[in-house]
Amino acid sequence: MEEFGKLEERVVLVGVQTDDHDNVEESLDELKELASTAGAVTVGRIIQNRESVHPGTYIGKGKIEEVRALVYAMDATGIICDDELSPAQLNNLERELDCKVMDRTLLILDIFAARAITSEGKIQVELAQLRYRSARLVGLRESLSRLGGGIGTRGPGEKKLETDRRLIRTRISALKQELSQVEKHRELIRSSRARGNMKTAAIVGYTNAGKSTLLNTLTGSEVLSEDKLFATLDPTTRLLNLKDGQQILLTDTVGFIHKLPHHLVEAFKSTLEEAKYADYIIHVVDSSNPQAEMQMHVVYETLKELGVMGKKIITLFNKQDAPGACVLRDFKSDYTLKVSAKTGEGLADLNDLLEKLLAEEQIYVERLFPYQEAGKIQLIREYGQLISEEYTEEGIAVKARVPKEIYARVV
């Protein structure tokens, strides 16, 4: 595992501006944030304009010289490239520059590794790390050997490489098995939730948008929220009591990010899938971020990739208290609200909206059930929401909300 925190890492960021590519300056701003989250100090950046990235070395020969000079001048310990490098690009650059070469994927993996808390998150990160590494075994041999323990403590050699690969394969299949156990467990929880007829809203959004803060403010719970990228890696579900007595489950999710490497989306699928099983999507946008529009776009793309479609979307333009907060036009969502998760501004409107949406799914029942029909009250308890029950001589007076599907069986 690459450890950034131990000795001070000083890095130079390297990006390629291609014609069809979004703005690399902005992408490098974000890469700098990622680097600092991982504990590395950015000491310079170099951008090359090219039609496309160099297949063998990511950047061209002349630029490599420039990077080498900057690394030397700034006493940098390594470079971080803005795109995922192929194994060949990584090896070649490492040979040419003679310093540590990292890429966006490795950086994100490193942050993920430091932040995963639940066993599921940890397994997912380790799997993604192993997959990334096994493809780059030659180049990463040195950093691997620093791991100590099982993998790689002796010098290089073909035989050694074979052993590394076999160890990694064994580990991967063990992890996969563990993961499928954990996923089964999650599936169980999900289906019992569905049986209890509890509606769920998934809070999604770009990393650092304020998702965890929102969950904390709404439910008074303590979910780690930090001004760091990827503070949340494991979904956390909390019960929200709405003012009118209705209830909804809110699930915090891992933040999305620009250029989230595909196999990471793959690795985190089961975590991100919370959004797929939710009844509603609450999309939190950091409206004080100049990149808000691009970030919203990334969120929609990721949702599409996950197959999350046809759900009601509530977009929250968050951080209204912050300077420069704006409201963007948003054609993809069904409802938009201006809020501040920090100050609580606008959250009463969110409460009202959720009440309205939930009420649409349920029918209000006020009825006296004779004692011989008490079984129906059990049905309400199981599938609906019992607001009150009062025992009288004629029977039980009940106020409740029941889902449309079972209304006919209750009245």
Ligand X SMILES: Nc1nc2c(ncn2[C@@H]2O[C@H](COP(=O)(O)OP(=O)(O)OP(=O)(O)O)[C@@H](O)[C@H]2O)c(=O)[nH]1
The site partner of 322 among Mg ion, ligand X, none (C-beta below 5 to 8 Å per kind) is ligand X
CB of 111 to ligand X, least distance (A): 9
CB of 167 to ligand X, least distance (A): 33
Among 227, 391, 392, 393, binds ligand X (CB under 6 A): 227
CB of 303 to ligand X, least distance (A): 15
- The contact pattern for ligand X, residues 336-375, with x = CB under 6 A and - = no contact, is ----xxx---------------------------------
- Cα separation, 53 vs 370, whole angstroms: 76
Binding to ligand X (CB under 6 A) within 149-208 occurs at 205, 207-208
- Cα separation, 176 vs 12, whole angstroms: 36
The interface region with ligand X, picked from 41-49, 174-182, 224-232, 275-283 by CB under 6 A, is 224-232
Q: Which of 200, 271, 262, 204 is nearest to 233 (CA)?
A: 271
CB environment 119-147: b (16+ within 10 A), e (fewer): ebbbbbbbbbbbbbbbebbebbbebbbee
* 74: contact with ligand X by CB under 6 A: no
Name the residue nearer to Mg ion (CB basis): 92 or 232: 232
Cα angle 77, 83, 88 (rounded to 5 degrees) comes to 75
The answer to whether 234 is annotated as binding is yes
**What are the distances in angstroms from CA 131 to CA 38, 97, 172, 285, 328?**
20, 25, 8, 32, 39
- Adjacent-strand bridge partners of 388: 399
Q: What residue spans of 203-306 are helical by DSSP H?
A: 211-219, 262-267, 269-272, 274-277, 292-305
CB environment 355-391: b (16+ within 10 A), e (fewer): bebbeeebbebebebeeeeeebbeebeebbbbbeeee
**Residue 3: other Cβ atoms inside 10 A:** 15
The interface region with ligand X, picked from 77-85, 275-283, 314-322, 396-404 by CB under 6 A, is 314-322
Contact residues for Mg ion, defined by CB under 5 A = 211-212, 231-232
CB of 112 to Mg ion, least distance (A): 13
Task: Report the residue number whose CB is nearest to Mg ion.
Answer: 232
* 318: contact with ligand X by CB under 6 A: yes
The interface region with ligand X, picked from 47-55, 152-160, 209-217, 392-400 by CB under 6 A, is 209-217
* 255: contact with ligand X by CB under 6 A: yes
The answer to whether 202 is annotated as binding is no
CB of 38 to Mg ion, least distance (A): 17
- Cα separation, 10 vs 91, whole angstroms: 20
**Residue 73: other Cβ atoms inside 10 A:** 11
Give me the sign of the Cα torsion angle 222, 227, 232, 237: positive
Rg over alpha carbons for the chain, rounded to the nearest Å, is 26
Q: Which of 115, 130, 229, 107 is nearest to 179 (CA)?
A: 130
Among 15, 121, 210, 235, binds ligand X (CB under 6 A): 210
The site partner of 210 among Mg ion, ligand X, none (C-beta below 5 to 8 Å per kind) is ligand X
- Adjacent-strand bridge partners of 48: 16
* 229: contact with ligand X by CB under 6 A: yes
Annotated binding site for GTP: 205-212, 230-234, 252-255, 318-321, 340-342
Q: What does the binding site for ligand X look like in residue numbers (CB under 6 A)? A: 205, 207-213, 225-227, 229-232, 255, 318-319, 321-322, 340-342
Annotated binding site: 205-212, 230-234, 252-255, 318-321, 340-342
Annotated binding site for Mg(2+): 212, 232
